[in-house]
Structure 1
Amino acid sequence: MIFTPLEQFSIVSYIPFHAGNIYLSFTNSSLYLLITISAVFSVFFLVTKNGGFLVPYRWQSVVEMIYEFVVSLVYEQIGSKGEKYFPLIFTTFVFLLFTNLIGMIPYSFTATSHFLVTFGLSLSLFIGITIVGFQTHKLHFLSLLLPKGAPLALAPLLVVLELVSYCFRAISLGVRLFANIMAGHTLVKILSGFAYTMLSVGGLMTIASVIPFTIVFALTGLEIGVACLQAYVFTILTCIYLNDAINLH
Protein backbone atom coordinates (compact mmCIF):
# COMPACT_ATOMS: atom_id res chain seq x y z
CA MET A 1 0.00 0.00 0.00
CA ILE A 2 1.30 3.43 -0.97
CA PHE A 3 0.65 6.16 1.56
CA THR A 4 0.41 9.77 0.43
CA PRO A 5 0.68 13.06 2.36
CA LEU A 6 -2.95 13.72 1.44
CA GLU A 7 -4.11 10.61 3.29
CA GLN A 8 -4.34 12.65 6.50
CA PHE A 9 -7.23 14.62 4.97
CA SER A 10 -9.35 11.57 4.13
CA ILE A 11 -12.91 11.60 5.43
CA VAL A 12 -13.68 8.39 7.34
CA SER A 13 -17.27 7.48 8.11
CA TYR A 14 -17.70 6.22 11.68
CA ILE A 15 -21.49 6.00 11.80
CA PRO A 16 -22.83 5.71 8.25
CA PHE A 17 -26.26 7.17 7.56
CA HIS A 18 -27.90 8.25 4.35
CA ALA A 19 -31.40 8.79 3.05
CA GLY A 20 -31.43 8.39 -0.71
CA ASN A 21 -28.68 10.63 -2.08
CA ILE A 22 -28.41 12.65 1.15
CA TYR A 23 -25.49 11.54 3.32
CA LEU A 24 -25.52 12.51 7.00
CA SER A 25 -22.85 10.14 8.28
CA PHE A 26 -20.89 10.87 11.45
CA THR A 27 -17.30 11.18 10.21
CA ASN A 28 -13.87 11.93 11.63
CA SER A 29 -14.45 15.57 10.66
CA SER A 30 -17.69 15.58 12.65
CA LEU A 31 -15.91 13.98 15.59
CA TYR A 32 -13.15 16.59 15.74
CA LEU A 33 -15.61 19.44 15.33
CA LEU A 34 -17.47 17.96 18.31
CA ILE A 35 -14.19 17.65 20.22
CA THR A 36 -13.43 21.30 19.47
CA ILE A 37 -16.82 22.46 20.73
CA SER A 38 -16.46 20.30 23.84
CA ALA A 39 -12.95 21.63 24.52
CA VAL A 40 -14.05 25.26 24.15
CA PHE A 41 -17.08 24.71 26.38
CA SER A 42 -15.05 22.86 29.02
CA VAL A 43 -12.28 25.47 29.21
CA PHE A 44 -14.63 28.43 29.41
CA PHE A 45 -16.99 26.68 31.83
CA LEU A 46 -14.20 25.73 34.22
CA VAL A 47 -12.74 29.24 34.08
CA THR A 48 -16.02 31.09 34.61
CA LYS A 49 -18.15 28.73 36.73
CA ASN A 50 -17.29 30.52 40.02
CA GLY A 51 -16.93 33.95 38.48
CA GLY A 52 -13.17 33.51 38.17
CA PHE A 53 -10.47 34.39 40.69
CA LEU A 54 -9.25 37.84 41.63
CA VAL A 55 -5.71 36.63 40.96
CA PRO A 56 -6.13 34.64 37.73
CA TYR A 57 -4.46 31.26 37.33
CA ARG A 58 -2.94 30.03 34.08
CA TRP A 59 -6.07 29.05 32.11
CA GLN A 60 -8.03 32.03 33.35
CA SER A 61 -5.22 34.31 32.19
CA VAL A 62 -5.27 32.71 28.74
CA VAL A 63 -9.05 33.13 28.43
CA GLU A 64 -8.86 36.74 29.61
CA MET A 65 -6.10 37.47 27.09
CA ILE A 66 -8.22 36.03 24.27
CA TYR A 67 -11.23 38.03 25.44
CA GLU A 68 -9.31 41.31 25.64
CA PHE A 69 -7.67 40.63 22.27
CA VAL A 70 -11.02 40.16 20.50
CA VAL A 71 -12.56 43.17 22.30
CA SER A 72 -9.72 45.41 21.07
CA LEU A 73 -10.07 43.92 17.58
CA VAL A 74 -13.79 44.73 17.45
CA TYR A 75 -13.32 48.31 18.67
CA GLU A 76 -10.42 48.97 16.29
CA GLN A 77 -12.16 47.61 13.20
CA ILE A 78 -15.84 48.40 13.81
CA GLY A 79 -16.07 50.81 16.73
CA SER A 80 -18.77 51.01 19.36
CA LYS A 81 -21.40 49.82 16.88
CA GLY A 82 -19.70 46.44 16.82
CA GLU A 83 -20.41 45.71 20.50
CA LYS A 84 -23.57 43.73 19.82
CA TYR A 85 -21.72 41.58 17.28
CA PHE A 86 -18.90 40.78 19.72
CA PRO A 87 -20.31 37.34 20.73
CA LEU A 88 -20.33 36.24 17.08
CA ILE A 89 -16.80 37.46 16.41
CA PHE A 90 -15.47 36.06 19.69
CA THR A 91 -17.06 32.66 19.04
CA THR A 92 -15.68 32.58 15.49
CA PHE A 93 -12.14 33.35 16.63
CA VAL A 94 -12.13 30.87 19.52
CA PHE A 95 -13.68 28.11 17.40
CA LEU A 96 -11.10 28.50 14.63
CA LEU A 97 -8.23 28.83 17.11
CA PHE A 98 -9.14 25.63 18.95
CA THR A 99 -9.88 23.73 15.72
CA ASN A 100 -6.53 24.67 14.19
CA LEU A 101 -4.54 23.91 17.36
CA ILE A 102 -6.26 20.56 17.97
CA GLY A 103 -5.31 19.66 14.40
CA MET A 104 -1.64 20.10 15.34
CA ILE A 105 -1.82 17.17 17.77
CA PRO A 106 -0.17 14.09 16.17
CA TYR A 107 -2.62 11.58 14.66
CA SER A 108 -5.51 14.01 15.02
CA PHE A 109 -7.63 15.51 12.25
CA THR A 110 -7.84 19.15 11.17
CA ALA A 111 -11.42 20.02 10.24
CA THR A 112 -10.38 23.39 8.77
CA SER A 113 -8.21 21.61 6.19
CA HIS A 114 -11.43 20.86 4.27
CA PHE A 115 -12.88 23.55 2.05
CA LEU A 116 -16.44 22.44 2.77
CA VAL A 117 -16.02 23.35 6.46
CA THR A 118 -14.32 26.69 5.87
CA PHE A 119 -16.61 27.64 2.99
CA GLY A 120 -19.69 26.74 5.03
CA LEU A 121 -18.48 29.05 7.79
CA SER A 122 -17.49 31.89 5.45
CA LEU A 123 -20.74 31.64 3.45
CA SER A 124 -22.83 31.73 6.63
CA LEU A 125 -20.99 34.84 7.83
CA PHE A 126 -21.28 36.45 4.39
CA ILE A 127 -25.05 35.94 4.31
CA GLY A 128 -25.39 37.21 7.88
CA ILE A 129 -23.28 40.31 7.19
CA THR A 130 -25.32 41.07 4.06
CA ILE A 131 -28.53 40.81 6.07
CA VAL A 132 -27.07 43.19 8.67
CA GLY A 133 -26.24 45.64 5.89
CA PHE A 134 -29.79 45.64 4.54
CA GLN A 135 -31.28 45.86 8.04
CA THR A 136 -29.10 48.87 8.85
CA HIS A 137 -29.32 50.83 5.59
CA LYS A 138 -32.27 49.26 3.71
CA LEU A 139 -31.79 49.66 -0.09
CA HIS A 140 -29.16 52.34 0.48
CA PHE A 141 -26.82 49.44 1.28
CA LEU A 142 -26.58 48.89 -2.49
CA SER A 143 -24.56 52.11 -2.70
CA LEU A 144 -21.65 49.95 -1.53
CA LEU A 145 -21.50 48.69 -5.12
CA LEU A 146 -20.80 52.14 -6.58
CA PRO A 147 -17.69 53.99 -5.33
CA LYS A 148 -18.17 57.65 -4.47
CA GLY A 149 -17.16 60.07 -7.21
CA ALA A 150 -17.29 57.43 -9.94
CA PRO A 151 -18.49 58.69 -13.37
CA LEU A 152 -22.08 57.71 -14.12
CA ALA A 153 -21.05 56.46 -17.55
CA LEU A 154 -18.95 53.75 -15.87
CA ALA A 155 -21.63 52.90 -13.31
CA PRO A 156 -22.94 49.71 -15.06
CA LEU A 157 -19.43 48.28 -15.35
CA LEU A 158 -18.38 49.30 -11.85
CA VAL A 159 -21.54 47.88 -10.26
CA VAL A 160 -20.93 44.50 -11.92
CA LEU A 161 -17.27 44.46 -10.88
CA GLU A 162 -18.09 45.51 -7.30
CA LEU A 163 -20.87 42.94 -7.08
CA VAL A 164 -18.55 40.16 -8.22
CA SER A 165 -15.87 41.39 -5.81
CA TYR A 166 -18.37 41.55 -2.96
CA CYS A 167 -19.75 38.05 -3.60
CA PHE A 168 -16.24 36.66 -3.96
CA ARG A 169 -15.64 37.48 -0.28
CA ALA A 170 -17.62 34.38 0.68
CA ILE A 171 -15.24 32.20 -1.32
CA SER A 172 -11.92 33.93 -0.64
CA LEU A 173 -12.47 33.93 3.13
CA GLY A 174 -12.90 30.16 3.18
CA VAL A 175 -10.22 29.38 0.57
CA ARG A 176 -7.56 31.39 2.42
CA LEU A 177 -8.04 29.43 5.64
CA PHE A 178 -8.38 26.02 3.99
CA ALA A 179 -5.39 26.48 1.66
CA ASN A 180 -2.97 27.66 4.35
CA ILE A 181 -3.89 24.90 6.81
CA MET A 182 -3.83 22.16 4.17
CA ALA A 183 -0.54 23.31 2.63
CA GLY A 184 1.22 23.50 5.99
CA HIS A 185 0.09 20.05 7.12
CA THR A 186 1.02 18.54 3.76
CA LEU A 187 4.54 20.00 3.91
CA VAL A 188 5.10 18.71 7.45
CA LYS A 189 3.87 15.24 6.45
CA ILE A 190 6.15 15.12 3.37
CA LEU A 191 9.24 16.11 5.34
CA SER A 192 8.34 13.72 8.16
CA GLY A 193 8.05 10.85 5.68
CA PHE A 194 11.36 11.83 4.09
CA ALA A 195 13.09 11.94 7.49
CA TYR A 196 11.64 8.57 8.51
CA THR A 197 12.78 6.99 5.25
CA MET A 198 16.33 8.24 5.78
CA LEU A 199 16.26 6.93 9.35
CA SER A 200 15.09 3.48 8.16
CA VAL A 201 17.90 3.13 5.62
CA GLY A 202 20.59 3.12 8.31
CA GLY A 203 24.25 3.99 8.14
CA LEU A 204 25.18 7.54 7.21
CA MET A 205 21.59 8.24 6.23
CA THR A 206 20.55 7.76 9.85
CA ILE A 207 22.94 10.53 10.89
CA ALA A 208 21.84 12.71 7.97
CA SER A 209 18.18 12.26 8.97
CA VAL A 210 18.85 14.70 11.84
CA ILE A 211 18.61 17.54 9.31
CA PRO A 212 15.05 16.85 8.04
CA PHE A 213 13.91 16.00 11.59
CA THR A 214 15.18 19.39 12.76
CA ILE A 215 13.34 21.08 9.90
CA VAL A 216 10.17 19.18 10.81
CA PHE A 217 10.35 20.38 14.42
CA ALA A 218 10.93 23.96 13.24
CA LEU A 219 8.03 23.72 10.78
CA THR A 220 5.79 22.31 13.49
CA GLY A 221 6.44 25.39 15.60
CA LEU A 222 5.81 27.55 12.54
CA GLU A 223 2.55 25.73 11.85
CA ILE A 224 1.35 26.40 15.39
CA GLY A 225 1.96 30.07 14.69
CA VAL A 226 0.14 29.80 11.35
CA ALA A 227 -2.80 28.09 13.10
CA CYS A 228 -3.16 31.09 15.41
CA LEU A 229 -2.50 33.60 12.61
CA GLN A 230 -5.14 32.13 10.29
CA ALA A 231 -7.76 32.31 13.04
CA TYR A 232 -6.80 35.97 13.47
CA VAL A 233 -6.87 36.72 9.72
CA PHE A 234 -10.27 35.10 9.29
CA THR A 235 -11.65 37.05 12.24
CA ILE A 236 -10.21 40.43 11.29
CA LEU A 237 -11.51 40.10 7.72
CA THR A 238 -14.93 39.27 9.15
CA CYS A 239 -14.70 42.46 11.23
CA ILE A 240 -13.71 44.49 8.16
CA TYR A 241 -16.61 43.11 6.12
CA LEU A 242 -18.98 43.77 9.00
CA ASN A 243 -17.66 47.32 9.29
CA ASP A 244 -18.36 47.84 5.57
CA ALA A 245 -21.93 46.63 6.09
CA ILE A 246 -22.52 48.86 9.12
CA ASN A 247 -20.68 52.02 8.09
CA LEU A 248 -20.69 51.65 4.29
CA HIS A 249 -16.95 52.27 3.94
Structure 2
Amino acid sequence: MFTSPLEQFSVYKIIPITLGAIDFSFTNSSLLVLLSVLFMLFGFNLIWANALLVPTVWQNILESLYEFIYYNVVSENVRKGGGSYFTVLFSVFYFILFCNLLGMVPYSFTVTSHIVITLGLASTIFIGINYVGIRIHGLHMLSLFLPPGAPLALAPLLVFIELVSYSFRVISLSLRLFANMMSGHCLLKILAGFAWAMFSSFSLLTVFHLVPLAVIFAIIGLELGIAFLQAYVFTLLLCVYLNDAISLH
Protein backbone atom coordinates (compact mmCIF):
# COMPACT_ATOMS: atom_id res chain seq x y z
CA MET A 1 0.00 0.00 0.00
CA PHE A 2 1.35 3.41 -0.99
CA THR A 3 0.79 6.45 1.20
CA SER A 4 0.46 10.04 0.12
CA PRO A 5 3.63 12.17 0.16
CA LEU A 6 1.63 14.68 2.20
CA GLU A 7 1.00 12.18 5.00
CA GLN A 8 4.34 13.09 6.59
CA PHE A 9 2.96 16.58 7.31
CA SER A 10 -0.01 15.35 9.34
CA VAL A 11 -0.40 16.95 12.76
CA TYR A 12 -1.65 14.58 15.47
CA LYS A 13 -2.27 14.99 19.17
CA ILE A 14 0.15 13.57 21.70
CA ILE A 15 -1.47 15.03 24.83
CA PRO A 16 -5.09 16.12 24.20
CA ILE A 17 -5.93 19.31 26.08
CA THR A 18 -9.21 21.15 25.51
CA LEU A 19 -10.74 24.11 27.28
CA GLY A 20 -14.31 24.49 26.07
CA ALA A 21 -14.20 25.00 22.32
CA ILE A 22 -10.47 25.86 22.37
CA ASP A 23 -7.97 23.09 21.66
CA PHE A 24 -4.62 23.43 23.47
CA SER A 25 -3.45 19.89 22.64
CA PHE A 26 0.26 19.10 22.65
CA THR A 27 0.98 17.82 19.14
CA ASN A 28 3.92 16.38 17.23
CA SER A 29 4.47 19.88 15.87
CA SER A 30 4.65 21.27 19.42
CA LEU A 31 7.09 18.51 20.36
CA LEU A 32 9.50 19.38 17.54
CA VAL A 33 9.31 23.10 18.36
CA LEU A 34 10.16 22.27 21.97
CA LEU A 35 13.01 19.98 20.93
CA SER A 36 14.42 22.66 18.63
CA VAL A 37 14.48 25.19 21.47
CA LEU A 38 15.99 22.67 23.89
CA PHE A 39 18.70 21.69 21.41
CA MET A 40 19.56 25.36 20.97
CA LEU A 41 19.72 26.09 24.70
CA PHE A 42 21.57 22.99 25.84
CA GLY A 43 23.81 22.82 22.77
CA PHE A 44 24.97 26.42 23.04
CA ASN A 45 25.34 26.30 26.82
CA LEU A 46 27.34 23.08 26.62
CA ILE A 47 29.71 24.49 24.01
CA TRP A 48 30.21 27.85 25.74
CA ALA A 49 30.59 26.26 29.18
CA ASN A 50 33.53 24.24 27.85
CA ALA A 51 34.98 27.02 25.70
CA LEU A 52 38.76 26.96 25.32
CA LEU A 53 41.34 29.47 24.14
CA VAL A 54 42.16 27.03 21.35
CA PRO A 55 38.61 26.22 20.18
CA THR A 56 37.30 22.72 19.66
CA VAL A 57 35.62 21.78 16.41
CA TRP A 58 32.09 22.55 17.67
CA GLN A 59 33.23 25.77 19.34
CA ASN A 60 34.91 26.84 16.10
CA ILE A 61 31.76 26.11 14.09
CA LEU A 62 29.54 28.04 16.51
CA GLU A 63 31.91 31.01 16.65
CA SER A 64 32.15 31.09 12.86
CA LEU A 65 28.37 31.08 12.48
CA TYR A 66 28.07 33.72 15.21
CA GLU A 67 30.48 36.00 13.35
CA PHE A 68 28.77 35.23 10.05
CA ILE A 69 25.36 36.33 11.34
CA TYR A 70 26.75 39.40 13.12
CA TYR A 71 29.09 40.78 10.45
CA ASN A 72 27.71 39.41 7.16
CA VAL A 73 24.00 39.53 7.86
CA VAL A 74 23.12 42.02 10.60
CA SER A 75 25.90 44.63 10.37
CA GLU A 76 25.83 44.83 6.57
CA ASN A 77 22.05 45.15 6.25
CA VAL A 78 20.97 47.08 9.36
CA ARG A 79 22.92 50.32 9.07
CA LYS A 80 21.84 52.02 12.31
CA GLY A 81 21.95 50.19 15.62
CA GLY A 82 21.79 46.70 14.17
CA GLY A 83 23.70 45.30 17.13
CA SER A 84 20.76 46.09 19.42
CA TYR A 85 18.61 43.56 17.55
CA PHE A 86 21.32 40.96 16.96
CA THR A 87 20.16 38.63 19.75
CA VAL A 88 16.64 38.35 18.32
CA LEU A 89 17.85 37.86 14.74
CA PHE A 90 20.47 35.34 15.89
CA SER A 91 17.79 33.36 17.75
CA VAL A 92 15.42 33.40 14.77
CA PHE A 93 18.15 32.10 12.46
CA TYR A 94 19.07 29.20 14.70
CA PHE A 95 15.48 28.35 15.56
CA ILE A 96 14.60 27.98 11.88
CA LEU A 97 17.84 26.12 11.20
CA PHE A 98 17.26 23.62 14.01
CA CYS A 99 13.62 23.10 12.94
CA ASN A 100 14.76 22.45 9.37
CA LEU A 101 17.53 20.07 10.39
CA LEU A 102 15.40 18.10 12.86
CA GLY A 103 12.86 17.68 10.07
CA MET A 104 15.50 15.75 8.11
CA VAL A 105 15.63 13.02 10.77
CA PRO A 106 13.65 9.93 9.63
CA TYR A 107 10.17 9.64 11.20
CA SER A 108 10.52 13.18 12.51
CA PHE A 109 8.31 16.17 11.68
CA THR A 110 9.23 19.31 9.75
CA VAL A 111 7.74 22.23 11.67
CA THR A 112 8.61 24.78 8.97
CA SER A 113 6.69 22.81 6.33
CA HIS A 114 3.41 24.18 7.74
CA ILE A 115 2.27 27.60 6.56
CA VAL A 116 0.59 28.33 9.91
CA ILE A 117 3.99 28.09 11.65
CA THR A 118 5.95 30.17 9.15
CA LEU A 119 3.16 32.74 8.83
CA GLY A 120 2.83 33.04 12.60
CA LEU A 121 6.59 33.47 13.00
CA ALA A 122 6.85 36.02 10.18
CA SER A 123 3.80 37.97 11.40
CA THR A 124 5.05 38.17 14.98
CA ILE A 125 8.49 39.46 13.97
CA PHE A 126 7.01 41.84 11.38
CA ILE A 127 4.77 43.38 14.05
CA GLY A 128 7.89 43.86 16.18
CA ILE A 129 9.71 45.55 13.31
CA ASN A 130 6.83 47.99 12.82
CA TYR A 131 6.79 48.69 16.54
CA VAL A 132 10.48 49.57 16.38
CA GLY A 133 9.85 51.91 13.44
CA ILE A 134 6.93 53.65 15.15
CA ARG A 135 8.87 53.98 18.41
CA ILE A 136 11.75 55.68 16.57
CA HIS A 137 9.89 57.82 14.03
CA GLY A 138 6.30 58.01 15.23
CA LEU A 139 3.80 58.84 12.48
CA HIS A 140 6.69 59.91 10.24
CA MET A 141 7.12 56.20 9.49
CA LEU A 142 4.17 56.57 7.08
CA SER A 143 6.61 58.29 4.71
CA LEU A 144 7.68 54.75 3.74
CA PHE A 145 4.50 54.51 1.67
CA LEU A 146 5.11 57.64 -0.41
CA PRO A 147 8.33 57.72 -2.46
CA PRO A 148 10.17 61.05 -2.21
CA GLY A 149 9.52 63.43 -5.11
CA ALA A 150 6.32 61.66 -6.18
CA PRO A 151 3.54 63.90 -7.61
CA LEU A 152 0.79 64.63 -5.09
CA ALA A 153 -1.84 63.72 -7.69
CA LEU A 154 -0.52 60.14 -7.70
CA ALA A 155 -0.16 59.96 -3.92
CA PRO A 156 -3.35 57.92 -3.23
CA LEU A 157 -2.43 55.33 -5.86
CA LEU A 158 1.23 55.14 -4.81
CA VAL A 159 0.37 54.84 -1.12
CA PHE A 160 -2.05 52.00 -1.89
CA ILE A 161 0.54 50.15 -4.00
CA GLU A 162 3.29 50.63 -1.42
CA LEU A 163 0.99 49.56 1.41
CA VAL A 164 0.00 46.35 -0.41
CA SER A 165 3.64 45.65 -1.27
CA TYR A 166 4.69 46.30 2.33
CA SER A 167 1.99 44.00 3.72
CA PHE A 168 2.92 41.19 1.34
CA ARG A 169 6.37 41.01 2.89
CA VAL A 170 4.91 38.78 5.59
CA ILE A 171 3.32 36.46 3.02
CA SER A 172 6.48 36.23 0.91
CA LEU A 173 8.58 35.44 3.98
CA SER A 174 6.29 32.67 5.16
CA LEU A 175 5.55 31.19 1.73
CA ARG A 176 9.22 31.00 0.73
CA LEU A 177 10.20 28.99 3.79
CA PHE A 178 7.08 26.81 3.80
CA ALA A 179 7.18 26.00 0.06
CA ASN A 180 10.87 25.09 -0.02
CA MET A 181 10.71 22.77 2.97
CA MET A 182 7.46 21.11 1.92
CA SER A 183 8.44 20.55 -1.73
CA GLY A 184 11.82 19.06 -0.82
CA HIS A 185 10.32 16.55 1.61
CA CYS A 186 7.57 15.64 -0.86
CA LEU A 187 10.18 14.94 -3.54
CA LEU A 188 12.12 12.69 -1.18
CA LYS A 189 8.95 10.78 -0.29
CA ILE A 190 7.98 10.30 -3.94
CA LEU A 191 11.45 9.06 -4.92
CA ALA A 192 11.53 6.73 -1.92
CA GLY A 193 8.18 5.33 -3.07
CA PHE A 194 9.57 4.74 -6.57
CA ALA A 195 12.67 3.01 -5.18
CA TRP A 196 10.61 0.75 -2.92
CA ALA A 197 8.13 -0.13 -5.69
CA MET A 198 10.99 -1.07 -8.03
CA PHE A 199 12.78 -3.05 -5.32
CA SER A 200 9.68 -5.00 -4.33
CA SER A 201 8.65 -5.82 -7.91
CA PHE A 202 10.99 -8.89 -8.00
CA SER A 203 11.70 -8.30 -11.65
CA LEU A 204 14.33 -6.56 -13.77
CA LEU A 205 13.30 -3.28 -12.13
CA THR A 206 14.71 -4.53 -8.85
CA VAL A 207 18.23 -3.91 -10.14
CA PHE A 208 17.41 -0.36 -11.25
CA HIS A 209 16.00 0.70 -7.87
CA LEU A 210 19.51 1.90 -7.10
CA VAL A 211 19.01 4.81 -9.50
CA PRO A 212 16.27 6.62 -7.53
CA LEU A 213 18.07 5.57 -4.35
CA ALA A 214 21.22 7.38 -5.47
CA VAL A 215 19.15 10.42 -6.39
CA ILE A 216 17.62 10.37 -2.89
CA PHE A 217 21.07 10.58 -1.27
CA ALA A 218 22.00 13.48 -3.56
CA ILE A 219 18.78 15.33 -2.73
CA ILE A 220 19.32 14.77 1.01
CA GLY A 221 22.61 16.63 0.68
CA LEU A 222 20.82 19.37 -1.24
CA GLU A 223 18.10 19.56 1.41
CA LEU A 224 20.68 20.01 4.14
CA GLY A 225 22.04 22.98 2.20
CA ILE A 226 18.53 24.35 1.69
CA ALA A 227 17.85 24.02 5.43
CA PHE A 228 20.72 26.43 6.09
CA LEU A 229 19.95 28.64 3.08
CA GLN A 230 16.31 29.18 4.02
CA ALA A 231 17.23 30.14 7.58
CA TYR A 232 19.79 32.56 6.14
CA VAL A 233 17.38 34.10 3.61
CA PHE A 234 14.64 34.48 6.23
CA THR A 235 17.02 36.29 8.60
CA LEU A 236 18.54 38.38 5.81
CA LEU A 237 15.14 39.67 4.68
CA LEU A 238 14.22 40.46 8.28
CA CYS A 239 17.37 42.58 8.47
CA VAL A 240 16.40 44.41 5.27
CA TYR A 241 12.89 45.10 6.56
CA LEU A 242 14.26 46.22 9.93
CA ASN A 243 16.66 48.58 8.18
CA ASP A 244 13.74 50.09 6.24
CA ALA A 245 11.84 50.67 9.47
CA ILE A 246 14.85 52.29 11.15
CA SER A 247 16.23 54.32 8.25
CA LEU A 248 12.94 54.90 6.35
CA HIS A 249 14.31 53.87 2.97
Task: Give the TM-score category using the shorter length.
Answer: over 0.9
Aligned match of 2:110: 110
Paired residue type of 2:77: Q
Distance 2:208 2:3 in 1: 23
**Aligned partner letter, 1:188:** L
Of 117-126 and 14-23, more deviation after overlay is shown by: 14-23
Could you say which residue in structure 2 is the equivalent of 1:9?
Answer: 9
* Rounded Cα–Cα distance in structure 2 between residues aligned with 1:58 and 1:218: 26
In 1, distance between residues paired with 2:135 and 2:120?
23
Q: Deviations over 1:67-96 (max 9, x none)?
A: 001101111001351110000000000111
SS in 1 for 2:55: coil
Percent identity for Structure 1 against Structure 2: 54
Change (3 A) 1:233 1:48: same
**Equivalent residue for 2:122?**
122
5 Å matches for 1:35-46? Answer: 35-46=35-46
Structure 1 residue 167, shift from structure 2 partner: 1.1
* Cα distance per residue 1:138-194 (max 9 Å; x no partner): 111000000112111110001011111111111211111011100110011101111
Q: Give the partner amino acid of 2:212.
A: P
Residue type at the aligned position of 2:220:
T
Secondary structure of 2:81's aligned partner: helix
TM-aligned CA deviation for residue 2 of structure 1: 4.8
Q: Secondary structure of 1:14's partner?
A: strand
SS of the residue 1:56 aligns to: coil
User: How many residues get paired?
Assistant: 248
Q: Distance in 1 between matches of 2:131 and 2:117?
A: 21
CA RMSD of aligned residues (A): 1.0
CA distance in 1, matches of 2:23, 2:162: 36
Q: Could you say which residue in structure 2 is the equivalent of 1:164? A: 164
The corresponding residue for 1:31 is 31
Structure 1: unaligned runs, 5 residues or longer? none
1:170-229 CA distance string (max 9 Å, x none): 121111101110011001110111111101112311111111111111111111111110
**Residue equivalent to 1:63:** 62
Instruction: Give CA-to-partner distance per residue, 1:44-81, whole Å, 9 cap, x none.
Output: 0101125x100111111111011001101111001351
Verify the 8 A CA contact 2:104 2:110 in the aligned structure 1. Answer: yes
The 8 Å contact of residues 103 and 109 in structure 2, kept in 1 or not, is answered as: yes
- Taking the aligned partners of 1:65 and 1:42, their CA distance within structure 2 comes to 19
- Which shows bigger deviation, 161-170 or 137-146? 161-170
What is the distance in 1 between the residues matched to 2:231 and 2:12?
25
Output one character per residue of 1:24-50: Cα deviation in whole Å (capped at 9) or x when no partner.
100000001111011111110101125
Q: Secondary structure at the match of 1:237?
A: helix
| Residue number in structure 1 paired with 2:210 | 210
C-alpha distance in structure 1 between counterparts of 2:64 and 2:246, whole Å: 27
The one-letter code of the counterpart of 1:7 is: E
Residue by residue over 1:107-127, the C-alpha shift from the partner in whole angstroms, topping out at 9 and shown as x without a partner, is: 111100011111110000110
Q: Give the 4+ runs in structure 1 shifted more than 6 A.
A: none
